[in-house]
Amino acid sequence: MADLKKTKIARKNIIRCCYCKLDFVGNTAWKRPPRCPACGGILKYAVKQAPNWKPKIRRKSGRFRMRNLASLPVPVKPNPRETNVEPIPRETNVEPIPRETIVEPNPRETNEEVISVPDPIEEVCAEEEMITDPGPLERLCAAEDSDPVVIGVLTEFPADTDALRAGLSESGADLIELRLDHSSEPGRIAFICSRSAEVAPCPLIATLRHKDEGGQWRWSEVERRAALGKALPSVNVVDIEMAFAESFSSEITSAHSKEVIVILSKHDFDGTPDNDTLSAWITRATDLGADVCKIACAVRDEEEARRLAEVAGSESEIAKIVIPISDSRPEYRLAFPLLGSTAAYATITVQVAPGQLPVSVTKRFLAEHSEIAGASFEEVVSAAREWIRKESASPPVQAAGE
């Protein structure tokens, strides 16, 4: 390396060695970084402006050579490549300081008992599972100890989808029964069910009531079975008369395969039979594969109503819907859901059965009197009668009592 000599020029830069930290003055326009004349380390770019003196620079074979450079400060530490000074060795085999750890006591070695702290997350999850309310379908199929559901009965199916959506949404019912036997033609039943399923806010019940059971079906039984089969994919529950259950056995099997709830119903418009007959109806519905047994009987006096209430509150393998039919005693319809019936039928637009009250009235009564559920027949009926008397100014209640 040539000797370093000072040469004066203006506005040049100071470059610094990466290793020995020596500073030199020179031009920084190079293709490859130059090497330090002292230790051979790589020189960095400019760190500050240099005094007014100029180095002589020569390029050869693409390498950058610096001549007549002036060294400024003396290196801070010597270069081990040019001196015999050995670098200070690093400390080796130094064991790291162990971190302090918490040692849990062993109950076998000590007499102290280990207290197990319950997980709060598991407790919250368990409480949420306990608080979760069952849905309307679970409450409908509950054999006992369940809040009754209110089923709204719909007999009119407008062609306008928005009108149908409004009628279903504004009803407020827990379930909606589609009385498809009121349809103008059987060919529209599948379309009515599919369109209702798209806009309904709650589960649907498909019913094609036979005329002998108080329905409006005017076509053959073959068409009725075919229409019910087409309705199954769109509904959650089907209602079939117990008297025709054997002829609908394939439809009942298909409903169970599609996880559709089956209600087998029995209607007696002449009066309420004895307890043995009522119990036999429930047993037969169970044998025929019903999930819910529905019994609707006309009550001509309080004795028949009391006998029907005993069946509603009795234990059975399947859930029971027990409905008293009376023109002059609408309080019976309000009282029976609190006496053991799992559901109460109510009106959405048109009253289908005698004594049937609107959905809003029925739900309001059940919400206000839930504390007397399971009380005696006299207490519940008296409360329903008194409530209707106070609400007698309401047009829906007046219409139900007429």
Return d(Cα 320, Cα 264) in angstroms, integer.
Answer: 10
Name all contacts of 368-375 with Cβ < 8 Å and 24+ positions apart.
369/338, 370/147, 370/338, 372/338, 373/338, 374/313, 374/338, 374/339, 374/340, 375/338
For residue 141, which of 36, 260, 228 has the smallest C-alpha distance? 260
Statement: residue 21 has pLDDT above 90:
no
CB 330 within 8 A of CB 347: no
> What is the pLDDT at residue 63?
43
Rounded to the nearest 5°, which phi and psi values hold at 323?
Answer: -125, 120
Q: Are residues 76 and 140 in the same domain?
A: no
Pick the more confident residue, 282 or 102: 282
Most confident of 55-59, 343-347, 391-395: 343-347
Give the range among 4-13, 137-146, 263-272 with minimum mean pLDDT: 4-13
Return the beta strands (E) in 112-260 as ranges: 149-154, 175-179, 204-207, 237-241
> What is the pLDDT at residue 173?
95
For residue 322, which of 347, 344, 341 has the smallest C-alpha distance? 341
Residues with Cβ < 8 Å from 258, sequence gap 6 or more? 232, 233
> What is the pLDDT at residue 134?
84
Give per-residue pLDDT as tens, 155-172: 999 988 899 998 888 889
Q: Are residues 144 and 60 in the same domain?
A: no
For residue 319, which of 138, 141, 134, 135 has the smallest C-alpha distance? 141
**292-298 and 319-325 as β-strands: parallel, antiparallel, unpaired?**
parallel
> What is the pLDDT at residue 68?
42
> What is the pLDDT at residue 121?
57
CB 248 within 8 A of CB 225: yes
The answer as to whether 187 is a domain residue is yes
Give per-residue pLDDT as tens, 321-372: 999 999 889 999 999 999 999 999 999 988 999 889 999 999 999 999 999 9
CB 238 within 8 A of CB 208: no
Q: Are residues 305 and 389 in the same domain?
A: yes
| H-type alpha helices, 95-179 | 120-131, 136-141, 161-169
Give per-residue pLDDT as tens, 66-124: 444 444 444 445 555 555 555 556 555 556 655 555 555 555 555 555 455 556 556 55
Pick the last residue of a domain from 44, 64, 82.
82
Query: What 3-state DSSP class applies to 266?
Result: strand
Percent of the chain with pLDDT over 70: 69
Pick the more confident residue, 9 or 221: 221
Return d(Cα 337, Cα 366) in angstroms, integer.
Answer: 8
Q: Of all helices (H) and strands (E), which one includes residue 265?
A: strand 261-268
DSSP code for 321: E
The answer as to whether 183 is a domain residue is yes
Q: State the average pLDDT over residues 184-198.
A: 92
The answer as to whether 55 is a domain residue is yes
Pick the last residue of a domain from 53, 82, 111.
82
Statement: residue 275 has pLDDT above 80:
yes
Provide the CATH number for the domain around residue 313: 3.20.20.70
Token pair listed for 151: 């089923």
Q: Are residues 162 and 58 in the same domain?
A: no
> What is the pLDDT at residue 184?
83
**Domain hosting residue 28, numbered range:** 1-82
Percent of the chain with pLDDT over 90: 55
Residues with Cβ < 8 Å from 401, sequence gap 6 or more? 328, 330, 388, 392
The answer as to whether 159 is a domain residue is yes
Q: State the average pLDDT over residues 160-188.
A: 91
Pick the more confident residue, 368 or 144: 368
> What is the pLDDT at residue 64?
42
The answer as to whether 232 is a domain residue is yes
Give the range among 20-29, 92-101, 142-151, 370-379 with minimum mean pLDDT: 92-101
Mean pLDDT for all residues in the chain? 80
For residue 2, which of 58, 42, 78, 47 has the smallest C-alpha distance? 58
Residue type, 107: P
CB 208 within 8 A of CB 215: yes
Give per-residue pLDDT as tens, 216-257: 999 999 999 999 999 999 999 999 999 999 999 999 999 999
Give the range among 3-7, 138-142, 195-199, 219-223 with minimum mean pLDDT: 3-7
Q: Are residues 148 and 232 in the same domain?
A: yes
Q: Are residues 142 and 3 in the same domain?
A: no
For residue 302, which of 357, 354, 188, 380 has the smallest C-alpha distance? 380
Q: How is the chain split among helix, strand and coil, in percent rounded to 5?
A: 35, 20, 45
Sorting pLDDT into bands at 50, 70 and 90, what band is 402? low
Q: State the average pLDDT over residues 312-325.
A: 94
Statement: residue 58 has pLDDT above 80:
no
Pick the last residue of a domain from 57, 82, 107.
82
Q: How far is CA 295 from CA 279, 343, 392, in A?
A: 10, 11, 28
> What is the pLDDT at residue 41?
73
Statement: residue 301 has pLDDT above 90:
yes
Statement: residue 50 has pLDDT above 60:
no
Q: How many domains does the chain have?
A: 2
Burial (CB < 10 A; 0-12, 13-18, 19+), residue 321, is buried
Return d(Cα 347, Cα 345) in angstroms, integer.
Answer: 7
Q: Are residues 5 and 148 in the same domain?
A: no
Return d(Cα 239, Cα 179) in angstroms, integer.
Answer: 10
